Amino acid sequence: MTLSQLPLGAKATIHSFTDELLSVKLLEMGCLPGEWVQVTNIAPFGDPIAITVSGYKLSLRLSEADTILIK
């Protein structure tokens, strides 16, 4: 399952990434394998979404969330 499929309010753990280039950027932004994530907001037009990760709020597009595998 990917992060883009996680419903609003649900929590999960980051497992791995499918896009190499984006994964470095995600790591930089505190999205680490094993880290808790929670979908906290969805933008009015359905995209992007905001997640809570590493103790702060990060917004990302659904296409970007789609590269994050969760469990």
> Which of 26, 39, 68, 70 touches other proteins (CB under 8 A)?
26
Residue 20 lies near other proteins (rule: CB under 8 A):
yes
Please report how close the Cβ of residue 71 comes to other proteins at its closest, in angstroms: 18
Q: Residue type at 14? A: I
> Which of 2, 22, 66, 69 touches other proteins (CB under 8 A)?
22
> Which of 1, 10, 13, 30 touches other proteins (CB under 8 A)?
30
